[in-house]
Amino acid sequence: MRALAEFIMHSRVQAALVVAGCVSLPLFYWLGAAAGCLILLKYGLKNSFGVLSLGLLSALIWWLQFSDPRVLLVLLGSSSLALVLRASESWVRTLLVSVALGLIYSVILSKVFCSQIEALSQEIIKILPMIIEDFYRQLLVGERARLALMITPILTGLIAALLQFVSVLSLILGRYWQAVLYNPGGFSREFYNIRLPVELVMLLLVCIVSGLYCGSQLVLLALICSVPLVFAGLALIHGLVAQKYLAKFWLVGLYVTFLLFMQLIYPLLVILAIFDGLIDFRSRLTLRDADNSSDKH
């Protein structure tokens, strides 16, 4: 990864080639977005526009050719988050802005992908009785109708939240590259200390609960608001490992289980981030160790 970062920063031509080339490949568009974030974080928008414009052109062609706006959305979204991080030097503010970005994604998807999402929703509705047979049989007619109405917003929210997640992930990779090249150890200090303040945690929690219980069209809000909490939960685990309160094998286990059992680990990370916002585990553990050390002396 360091070699790729050095190649990107060697010249504008090489940077443009990486951004445009990766964006043109469906499996590596996130890598092109990360390269764009690296350029923006280092040089700002004015001095990076020429490099990014080629990537934007490739993403636009991809949209027009294959009717797929996701590549363009991630490139624009991650670049916007990079500008926010560069200006504010605050991961908390950047993660908060990612919620607005996810909402924008959902609006665009509901317009551009409306027919595709609706068609997929109808297919899911047809097979729901077979997927959740026992549960579905117990539902009343009105409850089945409400469940059917939730499928489209859930699908829209899932896709929007996934694009939001990838956008933040691309920014993280770009920031990591920047630290490796120009500020060794800086990324670790930043990421390990990410903790959402209690006011923001409560706001996100209210949005999640409202999205789950206050109408089918708001379900996507719960999904989008969960993304900052997931990254805060990951930062908490990394921070505890860095402070040697957890062994390193916890990280390996975390990411393996995250890939295999995302439906279980994802909400667990959200819950951890909520409790960390309320309790601040890292500060409490550090304070406890300091008290224990002073008692020994």
Q: With contact defined as beta carbons under 8 Å apart, do 136 and 148 qualify?
A: no
Q: Does residue 132 or residue 184 have the better pLDDT?
A: 184
- Mean of the per-residue pLDDT values of the chain: 87
**77 has a pLDDT exceeding 60:** yes
Q: What is the CA radius of gyration of the chain?
A: 21
What is the spatial distance between Cα 178 and Cα 232, in angstroms, rounded to a whole number?
A: 21
Q: Tell me, what's the pLDDT at 64?
A: 85
User: Whole-prediction pTM value?
Assistant: 0.91
Residue 184, burial from CB neighbour count under 10 angstroms (0-12, 13-18, 19+): exposed
The CA–CA distances, whole Å, from 129 to 132, 142, 173, 294 equal: 6, 15, 42, 62
For the stretch 16-75, pLDDT in tens is 999 999 988 878 999 999 999 999 999 999 888 888 998 999 899 888 888 788 899 999
Band of the pLDDT at 282, cuts 50, 70, 90? Answer: confident
Q: How many residues does the chain have?
A: 297
Band of the pLDDT at 292, cuts 50, 70, 90? Answer: low
For the stretch 117-165, pLDDT in tens is 888 888 887 777 776 666 666 666 676 677 777 788 888 989 999 999 9
